[in-house]
Structure 1
Amino acid sequence: MHSDPGKSVVAVPPLARNGDLTLNRAANAALIRHLERGGVSTLMYGGNANFYHLAPSDYAEVLDMLLELASPATWVIPSAGPDFGKLKDQAKVLRTKPFPTAMVLPASGMATDQGTADGIGRFADSFGRPVIIYLKSETYLSVSSVTRLIDRGIVSAIKYAVVRDDPRQDAYLSELVRHVDKARIISGIGERPAIAHWRHFGLRAFTSGSVSIAPRLSTALLDALKSGAFDEAESLREAFLPFENARDEINPTRVLHDGVSFAGIADMGPILPLLSNLSDGEGLRVAPLARELHARDLARAKAAA
């Protein structure tokens, strides 16, 4: 397992289940192989895998499956939380597994800045390893709280996912990069803001859900950024926008989950409640977008062969 978040695109894939909501090992294996063949060596299982609604009693089984299915060279990052009760129990499971880190899912409501920092600290102490914090709102954790957690040595990285109308204009991220080593911060909202975060804030890694459909295109985008080929990066980014627009307008997790199935990569099956699969009408919109994105990815693979 490697520990460089910029070594590959950080994939945030969905999790496949059978009709009875048990884990579909074959489909999850197919998606992981698809990502690995496309150049992805970091898999982060969080919101798109619906870890928010994962039963604590199922946690160990999911972790063991991911460890078994991923290749030895792939870095698997599970999530925990978002509430403190889950964090407390999941830390006990995680510390028996060989994961170098885990991401703390962000809570919404019934939380304060000080209480969140305290809870993350207690989770990391119990886990016994540094963790990744997931910033989706600037009210979730203040920059001073983030820096204190880093100074304590319990934060390995930050997934930054605060959505802005213009990602180049972000006072919170500007403050964050002034106080935190940029190498610790991962652009966490897919391909859409990745170039702006790279060029304007110096971030050198990004997460993606749509990489599950088009790993070669997403990997090529990262490679273009690394080489300073920003025009090429912009062109590659454009390929993702129709599907990403549908994700933003309907629901990012639901569209990605069913999009992987529509593209023919793996049958992801039902999404774990309290979420639900796309309606027929939503599916009619999403299916051609997923297939087109996948077709572009296959065309790139063919051209490179």
Structure 2
Amino acid sequence: MTETPRLSPEDYARSVVAVPPLALDDDGHFAADANRRVLSHIADGGISTVLYGGNANIYHFGAGLFREALEGVFAVCPENLDILFSIGPDFGKAMDQAEDLKDVGIKNALLLPMAFPSDSAGIVAGARQLAEKLGFGLVLYIKRDAYLAPEALQTLIGEGTVSYVKYAVERGDPAQDPYLDAILDAVGVDKVASGMGETPIADHIGGRGMSTFTSGAVCIAPAASNALLSLYRAGRTDEAAELAAPFLEFERHRAELGGTSVLHDSMGIAGIAECGPLTPLVTNLDDAARKTLAPVIDRLLAAESAVRDRKIAV
């Protein structure tokens, strides 16, 4: 049995939270060596926490692959890296997966966002039942407007049903977000991570002072992404904006070509690890898309080298 420590808001704030893909072999099974290489690259860049969720395509995992992945990632994870594993998004699936987490001693779980059907009161009831079954509070993933009433979230955090929040409601202008303002007023900036990669962090980290942010690009350039977090926290916005440029370019391509697909295949293009086939209903990139991405990834790797070689002071 794996015994993992409970992660606190302070633990999440120690670094950017990486959201990696999950590598599969040609038969659709957990690829131990490739996943070990991904995790080692992330840890070597100074990241302390990884979240297996949307980028790992866990939404589409059946029961067998979920258990295989759950056991596999903890078997290959470096000792200096903590793992947050996702369950759901539907309630029945989450309850079944909660039993799997208990069986292997996992103490940190994120509830994936349910688009339809769900409502605020139902999410409250479901989160309570899941937390009771798990024996610990959940990380709640908020990805649409009015997903959960801020006062209800405040109650759930106060009673220990929810321990932390990943916020990922996309806005044309991240600075104009009354729903986020209401959530931060209700529960505080220390319990909420920005959940949309580098795109909104000039406001979310530099402006609002949120706890940290989650990222896919950090899996390619972990030290550089962590440097962004430090620069925005320090108010060094001009330096942060310059360093952010290749990350924002990468995120634009993810938005155009598919966020999960781009990150999954980019790990191989970057020379970190070939992650193999994606589980349907998501597909791997075609050759044209891979060719388009290659120079974008080169610029990310150049930023990573600059930070690791201390050519960018943080």
- Place the TM-score, normalised by the shorter chain, in its bin: over 0.9
> What amino acid is the match of 1:77?
L
Distance (Å, rounded) in 2 between the aligned partners of 1:114 and 1:176 = 16
**Matched residue, 1:244:** 251
C-alpha displacement of 1:151: 2.3
Secondary structure of 1:95's match?
Answer: helix
Q: Specify the alignment match of 1:138 in structure 2.
A: 145
Deviation at 1:238, TM superposition (A): 1.4
Aligned with 2:139: secondary structure?
Answer: strand
- Per-residue Cα deviation, 1:128-166 (whole angstroms, up to 9, x for no partner): 111100011013222122122112211110000011111
Matched, 1:121 2:123: no
Aligned residue in 1 for 2:156:
149
How do residues 32-181 of structure 1 correspond to structure 2 at under 5 angstroms?
A: 32-181=39-188
Q: Does 1:275 align with 2:282?
A: yes
Give 1:303 shift: 4.3
The reply to whether residue 199 of structure 1 matches residue 201 of structure 2 is: no
Aligned residues of 1:262 and 1:291 also touching (Cα < 8 A): no
Structure 1 spans left out of the alignment, 5+ residues: none
Deviation (angstroms), 1:289:
1.3
Alignment coverage as a number of residue pairs: 305
Shift of 1:280: 2.5
- TM-score using structure 2 length: 0.92
Separation in 2 of the partners of 1:190 and 1:224? 16
**Deviation string, structure 1 residues 175-196 (Cα, Å, up to 9, x no partner):** 1111112111001111111121
- Local SS of the residue matching 1:219: helix
Return the offset for 1:34. Answer: 0.4
Could you report, residue by residue, the CA deviation over 1:225-262 in whole angstroms, capped at 9, with x for unpaired residues? 33332222222111211111000112111111111111
Query: For residues 242 and 236 of structure 1, do their structure 2 counterparts lie closer, same or farther at Cα, with a shift above 3 Å needed?
Result: same
How big is the shift at 1:94?
A: 1.1
Unaligned 5+ segments in structure 2 are none
SS in 2 for 1:200: coil
Partner deviation per Cα, 1:22-67 (whole Å, 9 max, x = no partner): 1111000001010011111101000000110111122222112111
Which secondary structure state, in structure 1, belongs to the residue aligned with residue 163 of structure 2?
strand
Aligned partners of 2:302 and 2:120: how far apart in 1?
44
Alpha carbons 1:260, 1:290 under 8 Å: kept: no
1:256 to 263, 267, 277: 263
Tell me the TM-score normalised to structure 1 length: 0.95
Q: Aligned to 1:48, what secondary structure does the other structure show? A: helix
